Amino acid sequence: MENPTTSPPDEKSLDRHAFVLKRLSNKNHRYTTGRHRLVDALAGSDKPLTLPDIVAIAPDLAASSVYRNLEVLEQCGVVKRIASGRDHAHFELAEPLLSHHHHLVCTECGAIEDVRLDDEVEELLDQRLNLVAARASFKPLHHSLDLHGHCANCEGLL
Amino acid sequence: MENPTTSPPDEKSLDRHAFVLKRLSNKNHRYTTGRHRLVDALAGSDKPLTLPDIVAIAPDLAASSVYRNLEVLEQCGVVKRIASGRDHAHFELAEPLLSHHHHLVCTECGAIEDVRLDDEVEELLDQRLNLVAARASFKPLHHSLDLHGHCANCEGLL
DNA sequence: CGCAATAATGATAATGAGTCTCATTTACAA
DNA sequence: TTGTAAATGAGACTCATTATCATTATTGCG
């Protein structure tokens, strides 16, 4: 597999670029090459990445800058942070850039995989969540649903 | 309100006590007074607690012991850890001791509140999650569903 | 009961993911 | 360009959580 961070830009990556630029500009932030590389790294993976994952993919990015930019991009709604509790947090592109999905989280090795549910289930879920939120005077922004268990690899080793 | 950690034991707390004792004994652990106090502190709250919350409720518990015991109780399936990502993790009693529920998580102040959904929705959810898990050769243990947004207090201040 | 053997405690040191600092570099706007 | 404000990167720093270890408590057994 070719390194996705250096592939020629296709239509999707141009859209992504434009979207991120807009979100950053809204808050007077610049879309620098470092941030572009970070977004590309996240976009080039089919699962959320940790900081070590990211610097492994793009070794010339400074860890401190990556952390700072993940923070900035999170504020702008471009990146979503997934706190594993143990060790490193995972990061992925946020909803408009990645279609709505959930995670299979391995409680043994910490690996995270993406999964999608039927729209029908998602709608029902949102409906009910909005209901309980309203009851608690809570303003809902988004939901996160994770299935915890053992991935195929760890289950085999147990 | 009286301090719930020193209330006379009712039927529920006796059940809880017995359950925790069994879970600990299974792994050759002892149900010491410190652990009892910790379980009582968690049981006495209607929302997940952080370490500072716990030592505020039971000031004579040593922080290092509380952390160690939370770990032990988590291993025994008595306590569940909720990683907020930022600052302190939250802890609550695990499923058999607390009925299945989900969380409203305030993205501003980090406060966590418990909510429950209809059994109907939960069943549908489990059904679909089991399906996608099977497709990924993933062995499901439990799901977690959080609604992120602004709590009434923070929304008022914004 | 009393005596090992083993687990738990708690004060403190160590760890390490993530954040902050600041001097330097880069990007944008006029 | 050129001035101004934001971004960078190396390293210092924070602070929630873990590990250490000498001491104390608990349990099983004779």
pLDDT digits (tens, 9 = 90+) for B117-149: 999 999 999 999 999 999 999 999 999 999 999
Of chain B, the percentage scoring pLDDT greater than 70 comes to 92
**Domain count across chain B:** 2
* pLDDT number for residue B129: 96
Note whether A13 and A80 are same-domain residues. yes
Domain termination residue (choose one: B75, B96, B117)? B96
Note whether A4 and A79 are same-domain residues. yes
Can you tell me the mean pLDDT for B16-21?
A: 93
Domain termination residue (choose one: B48, B68, B96)? B96
Over residues B27-62, the pLDDT tens digits come to: 999 999 999 999 999 999 999 999 999 999 999 999
Domain termination residue (choose one: A66, A98, A130)? A98
Q: Please state whether A37 falls in left (phi above 0), alpha (psi between -120 and 50) or beta.
A: alpha
User: Distance (Å) from the C-alpha of residue A85 to the closest C-alpha of chain B?
Assistant: 5
With beta carbons less than 8 A apart as the criterion, state whether A57 and A41 touch.
yes
* Amino acid identity at B95: E
Q: Which nucleotide is nearest to A89 (CA to C1')?
A: C17
* pLDDT number for residue B137: 95
Note whether A17 and A87 are same-domain residues. yes
Note whether B59 and B115 are same-domain residues. no
Q: Which residues of A touch B (CB under 8 A)?
A: 81-86, 89, 104, 106-107, 113, 115-118, 121, 124-125, 128-129, 132-133, 136-152, 155
Count CA within 13 A, CB hemisphere, residue B157.
Answer: 8
Own/partner contacts of B46-51, CB < 8 Å, gap of 24 or more, are B46/B114, B47/B92, B47/B111, B47/B112, B47/B113, B47/B114, B48/B82, B48/B90, B48/B91, B48/B92, B48/B103, B48/B112, B48/B114, B49/B90, B49/B91, B49/B92, B50/B87, B50/B88, B50/B89, B50/B90, B50/B91, B51/B88, B51/B89, B51/B91
Note whether A84 and A7 are same-domain residues. yes
Which of the four pLDDT bands, split at 50, 70 and 90, describes residue A110?
Answer: confident
Mean pLDDT of chain A: 90
Note whether B130 and B92 are same-domain residues. no
Which of the four pLDDT bands, split at 50, 70 and 90, describes residue B154?
Answer: confident
Say whether pLDDT at A120 is over 50: yes
Note whether A80 and A103 are same-domain residues. no
CATH number at residue A106: 3.30.1490.190
Note whether A87 and A103 are same-domain residues. no
Over residues A53-69, the pLDDT tens digits come to: 999 999 999 999 999 99
Note whether B62 and B105 are same-domain residues. no
Domain that holds residue B75: 1-96
Note whether B36 and B114 are same-domain residues. no
Of residues A82 and B84, the one with the higher pLDDT is: A82
Which of the four pLDDT bands, split at 50, 70 and 90, describes residue A156?
Answer: confident
Neighbours of B12 (CB within 10 A): 10
CATH number at residue A63: 1.10.10.10
CB contact under 8 A, A140 and B155: no
Note whether A69 and A124 are same-domain residues. no
Note whether A13 and A52 are same-domain residues. yes
